[in-house]
Amino acid sequence: MKLGIIFGGKSFEHEISIISAIVMKKVLKAELIYIFCDYNREFYLIPTKKINSKRFSSGEYKKYKKLTLKNGGFFAKNIIGEKKIDFDIALNLSHGADGEDGKFSSLLEFFEIPFVGPRVEASSISYNKLFTKMYAKEFGVKTLDYKTLNKGSSRNIELEYPVIIKPTRLGSSIGISIVKKKEELDYALDVAFEFDTQVIIEPFVRDVKEYNLSGCKTDKYEFSIVEEPKKDEFLDFDKKYLDFSRTLRVNEADLSEEMKEKLKETFKKLYEPLFSGSLIRCDFFILDNEIYINEINPIPGSMANYLFSDFDKVLSSLTNFLPTCTQVLPQYKYINSIQVAKGKNGKFHTK
């Protein structure tokens, strides 16, 4: 199988996407075709043997073939016209905006390119932390209490400190701050509003236990191990950035089998049918033996390969269970019936 890795995009998480894409060379057995989207949203075909992080920061990628996205795939110009880039299925590996907010999903679906990754609705809900909380509550999954604040709104709000401030539409811990007293609030909000026009404010629970579980649905659910990430107060950008380059499997969390099963059941409530065709990672809190969803990562860093004993097998299996679109055939019955009626009556009536 040939797998087209689509990465990059116009996003604060652009660099993280590059790291994730490079990691795929180490963990996947399929033939990989790399398609890079730069900050100008232009696509380039990057030779697999030539891919490294400096090639992008230096702008050297521009010497490779520029691609055009059309019905059925990506195309590159040649002497006699253009040639379609040969791959079987695409893997959306663009983190943040473009990749996770639904833009790439829309393009791939519109141009009928089969792909692994969140579809438009899944992207819209999981990219926005407020929508994620609303979605989780609808399916009976607990979330921490929260407030929202829009840029330009009054900051005269009553809070019980400490709290954690998060941009609503951003990942990788970018723009996140812990506020321990009122005097720190304005600065934390200024930082968050550099990245988004809305923030989520949650209680900061010290020493809360966090657990990550990744998985997907094929003919059955494919689950990773449950990981308890090592952290200080929270996983900041630098720690998460290093995580994206991980390929070695991590140790399983010290949890009872009963609690692991509860996490899996909660995962299932969130996954199907919205995230069909995706390999996602859910980040959970456990408080007083109760499970809370923190975030849904529709395109986890490095695809959370380090949580699986055989990541290549899981991803390969998922490519055989992608959702399909309902076929719509041209009919024009309604228009034809109007024309017939018009011909009989000599007039064209509408209501």
149/236 Cα distance (integer angstroms): 22
- The per-residue pLDDT for 159 is 86
For tokens 């990989």, name the residue: 32
- The per-residue pLDDT for 241 is 47
- The per-residue pLDDT for 327 is 82
- The per-residue pLDDT for 46 is 97
276/218 Cα distance (integer angstroms): 9
Kindly report which listed range (44-58, 244-258, 316-330) carries the lowest average pLDDT score: 244-258
Extended strands (E) in the chain:
2-8, 31-37, 43-46, 66-70, 73-78, 81-84, 89-92, 115-116, 147-150, 163-167, 177-179, 198-203, 209-217, 221-227, 280-287, 290-297
176/74 Cα distance (integer angstroms): 37
- pLDDT tens track for 106-151: 999 999 999 999 999 999 999 999 999 999 999 999 999 999 999 9
Q: Identify the band that residue 80 occupies on the pLDDT scale cut at 50, 70 and 90.
A: confident
Under DSSP, the state recorded for 109 is H
Contact of 32 with 3, CB cutoff 8 Å = yes
- The per-residue pLDDT for 237 is 47
Of the candidates 214, 209, 206, 306, which has an alpha carbon nearest to the alpha carbon of residue 256? 209
65/36 Cα distance (integer angstroms): 10
Q: Does a cis peptide bond (omega within 30 degrees of 0) precede residue 162?
A: yes
Domains of the chain: 2-116 (3.40.50.20), 125-142+207-318 (3.30.470.20), 147-203 (3.30.1490.20)
Assign 49 to helix, strand or coil. helix
Overall average pLDDT of the 91-105 stretch: 95
This prediction's pTM: 0.88
For the CA atoms of 103, 106, 109, 115, the dihedral, rounded to the nearest 10 degrees, stands at 30
Q: Identify the band that residue 234 occupies on the pLDDT scale cut at 50, 70 and 90.
A: low
Overall average pLDDT of the 144-162 stretch: 91
323/332 Cα distance (integer angstroms): 27
- The per-residue pLDDT for 224 is 97
Q: Identify the band that residue 331 occupies on the pLDDT scale cut at 50, 70 and 90.
A: confident
Kindly report which listed range (91-100, 153-162, 202-211, 333-342) carries the lowest average pLDDT score: 333-342
Give the length of the chain: 351
Give the pair of three-digit tokens for residue 292.
Answer: 């809370």
- pLDDT tens track for 179-207: 999 999 999 999 999 989 999 999 998 88
Q: Identify the band that residue 329 occupies on the pLDDT scale cut at 50, 70 and 90.
A: confident
Contact of 9 with 97, CB cutoff 8 Å = yes
State phi, psi for 344 to the nearest 5 degrees: -75, -40
Q: Above 60 in pLDDT, residue 235?
A: no
Q: Identify the band that residue 91 occupies on the pLDDT scale cut at 50, 70 and 90.
A: very high
Under DSSP, the state recorded for 308 is -
